[in-house]
Amino acid sequence: MREWMVRSLRIVVMAAVAAVAATQIGALQDTKVTGLAVNPRDGYATITWKPVTGATEYHIERTPLDDAGKPTADGAISAVWRPNRQIRQQSPSFADAGFVPGRRYQWRVRAMMGTTAQEFSAPVAAMTRAPFGPIEFQTGFEKREGADYTTYDEEIEWTARIAKASPRVRIVPLGTTPQGRTMNLFVIGNPKPIATAAEISNGPAAGANCNVHGNEPSGREGCFMMIRELALSNDPWVVDILTRATILIVPSFNADGRANNTRGNSAGQDLNRDHGRITQPESQMFAAFLRDYTPEVMVDGHEFGNTNTCDLPFLWPRHSNTAPSVHNISKLGLVEGHLYSAGATDGWWGCPYPPPGIDGAQTFTRVTGLKNMVTTLVEARSSGGPTRPLENGNQPESRRRKAYSQLWSIRQAIAYHRAERPAIAKAIADGIEFQKANKGRIVFHGDWDIPAFPAPHPGDSPPPGGAPGPDQILDPPPCGYFLTEALYSAKLKDSGTLPEKLWTSPGERLAAHGVAVEKRNGGYFVPMVQPLRGLINILLDARTPPAPIVAAERVFDCGK
Ligand SMILES: [Zn+2]
């Protein structure tokens, strides 16, 4: 058992002792829940109530109603609120989800004292919020009520119609996948999107990478719904967001993997281990998008198959080379400051994502942090788990909850960018200055720690720390790397089964990242004194696990 597991067990034991003590007090008091309120939101309903002294958890019952308000089926417990669910436990809330939006339901809540159920609250009925916009702009997923996901053909047809209907939307094809599918970027602004990538890069921009793992589709559906609202709504929130920033959304980073329902792309490469080496066409197109548009805030949508985790595990850029200002604002601002807090208000349960071991992975969050962007991964828990007992595996109820929780996450990232843009812009500018200074160690593999938050944090177990060992550190750093002409230009056969005509060279990949390179006698020099400094040794040093793009020569004497 790892040390962090022992620590989290200790927290559970302490919580149980506290609960028993509280129960003895509660026995003297009224234990029926009061103050129940239902707030219909986008695909979910926030259920709130007054806490009952001594309650160890709460059960939320949902009953479907007809238009006349009569039950059409028996009520069932759809949600279990537990004390580790949110950071403000004195104001319990639960985002009940999985129902079909736009229908009428009734809720009741009861406290549990250990295994003893207390009396249910008075019921509250509500009409849930229907999907936004005219029905012809609903996706395949919505029309089929989550019976299956939106197909690629449906996506392309829907994309064209949204772009035609809304002057706020410009579609930029980023390129074509190995199997011939298009990777589209939605550029959204009000009253119309800013004309060029260079102008957008110089201003405020935020967005989402919706679907890197083809068999984790809910983020893509959340993105479609967010796009539709941004494109067509005149709600003041939407108009305000789009008047002050450009929103950049890539629904299908891995269109081949989605079409084939595989984690990796058609060459078998996990694209979320390929943001550094960018061996695959999809990764190169996406890197060029980040280079040209430099979004300041991004979310990266996933699903996580741990039934015991929270609704929405988050993870910020944590590679040890990440500039402190960028790491800190991503962690303390975006995730702990905004997403955990908004989750406690709206009823979604956020927690830190446990990374799956030390693998030197060149993931979205690690690499975007090294590109001085404020980002987080978001993992919709793939099944209901013990806190959402109506979900039965990967069924429509579960798919709807996941898609709407992803929509919530994207909306919150955009809202955070809107609220904190000056601080975000400063953190990014400070990060660029930090990197350009090339002062202090560089790290090949190692991470900032991910502490539990708060204590006890919302989540079951904090991820293991990943501080770099001495063999993963180089201090002082080189002032650059040198590649011979041959190394720079040779097309690389890389991992997976990518056809030879799609192989690319280190020079092409450095260009896709936007790494500055100087032509020298016999080759190319890559100076460390540049904004992408934290990424350069990942790309070019032989010591990088699992592998750099190519092993270049470290240069320590730059003739200063
Ligand atoms: Zn994933």
Check whether 323 has a pLDDT greater than 60: yes
Q: Identify whether the C-beta of residue 267 lies closer than 8 Å to the C-beta of residue 497.
A: yes
CB of 502 closer than 8 Å to CB of 281: yes
Averaged over 548-557, what is the pLDDT?
Answer: 97
- Name the CA dihedral angle for 133, 135, 139, 144, rounded to a multiple of 10 degrees: 130
Give the pairing type, strands 523-527 and 518-520. antiparallel
Q: Are 369 and 325 in contact (CB under 8 A)?
A: no
- Find how far residue 119's CA is from the centre of its chain: 39
* pLDDT surpasses 60 at 123: yes
Dist. CA 22 → ligand 1 center (Å): 40
Q: Is residue 453's pLDDT more than 70?
A: no
Residue 50 pLDDT exceeds 60: yes
Measure the CA–CA gap between 418 and 204, rounded to whole angstroms. 9
Give the pLDDT confidence score for residue 471 in this predicted structure.
Answer: 92
Give the per-residue pLDDT at 393. 76
Which of 441, 463, 444 is closest to 452 using CA atoms?
463
For residue 402, the CA-to-ligand 1 centroid distance in Å is 13
Cα(213) to centroid of ligand 1, in Å? 5
Q: How far is the CA of 212 from the centre of ligand 1 (A)?
A: 7
Which among 464, 321, 369, 492 has a CA at the least distance from the CA of 6?
464
Residue 116: exposure state from Cβ atoms within 10 A (0-12, 13-18, ≥19): exposed
Q: Which of 14-18, 252-256, 463-467, 515-519 has the lowest mean pLDDT?
A: 14-18
27 pLDDT above the threshold of 50:
no
512 Cα: distance to centroid of ligand 1 (angstroms): 23
- How far is ligand 1, taken at its centre, from the CA of residue 270, in Å? 9
Ligand 1 center to 365 CA (angstroms): 12
User: Could you count the other beta carbons within 10 Å of the beta carbon of residue 146?
Assistant: 21
> In the beta sheet, which residues pair with residue 154?
none
Cβ pair 438, 528 in contact under 8 A: yes
Q: How many other CB atoms are found less than 10 A from the CB of residue 28?
A: 9
State in Å: Cα 305 to ligand 1 middle: 10
Tell me how far the alpha carbon of residue 115 lies from the centroid of ligand 1, in angstroms.
Answer: 36
Give the pLDDT band of residue 26 (cuts 50, 70, 90).
Answer: very low
* 302 Cα–ligand 1 center, Å: 4
* Distance between Cα 455 and ligand 1 center (Å): 27
User: What local confidence, expressed as pLDDT, does residue 460 receive?
Assistant: 54
Task: Tell me the CA–centroid distance for residue 458 and ligand 1, in Å.
Answer: 21
Whether the pLDDT of residue 18 is over 50: the answer is no
Q: Would the pLDDT of 9 be above 60?
A: no
Please report which confidence band the pLDDT of residue 352 belongs to, taking 50, 70 and 90 as the band edges: confident
How far, in Å, from the CA of 335 to the mean position of ligand 1? Answer: 18
Question: From ligand 1's centre to the CA of 216, what distance in Å?
Answer: 6
pLDDT at 495 over 80: no
Q: How far does residue 461's CA lie from ligand 1's centre (Å)?
A: 19
> Do 201 and 214 form a contact (C-beta atoms < 8 A)?
no
Ligand 1 centroid vs 525 CA: distance in angstroms? 35
* pLDDT, tens only, 173-227: 999 999 999 999 999 999 999 999 999 999 999 999 999 999 999 999 999 999 9
Q: What is the mean pLDDT of residues 344-366?
A: 82
Distance 456 CA to ligand 1 centre (A): 26
Cα of 283 from ligand 1 centre, angstroms: 15
Instruction: Compute the distance from residue 531 Cα to the ligand 1 centre, in Å.
Output: 28
CA of 368 to the centre of ligand 1 (A): 16
End-to-end CA distance of the chain: 51
Q: Distance from the CA of 382 to the center of ligand 1, in angstroms?
A: 10
Cα(370) to centroid of ligand 1, in Å? 20
Q: How many CA atoms lie within 13 A of 306 on its CB side?
A: 16
Which tokens hold the place of 138?
A: 């609903």
Q: What confidence score (pLDDT) does residue 12 get?
A: 44
Ligand 1 centre distance from Cα of residue 171 (Å): 25
Predicted confidence band of residue 11 (pLDDT cuts 50, 70, 90): very low
For residue 109, the CA-to-ligand 1 centroid distance in Å is 34
pLDDT value of residue 1? 38
- Rounded distance, CA 194 to CA 208, Å? 18
Give 303 Cα–ligand 1 centroid separation in angstroms: 6
HEC sequence for 125-167? EEECCCCCCCHHHCCHHHHCCCCCCCCHHHHHHHHHHHHHHCC
Side-chain half-sphere of 129: how many Cα atoms within 13 Å? 15
Q: How confident is the model at residue 7 (pLDDT cuts 50, 70, 90)?
A: very low
**Cα-trace Rg, the chain:** 24
Question: What's the pLDDT tens digit per position in 71-122?
Answer: 999 999 999 999 888 888 899 999 999 999 999 999 999 999 999 999 999 9
Query: Which residues have beta carbons under 5 A from ligand 1 (an ion)?
Result: 213, 216, 302
Ligand 1 centroid to 275 CA: how many Å? 13
Instruction: Kindly tell me if the per-residue pLDDT of 128 is higher than 80.
Output: yes
Where residue 19 falls among pLDDT bands split at 50, 70, 90? very low
Mean pLDDT of the chain: 92
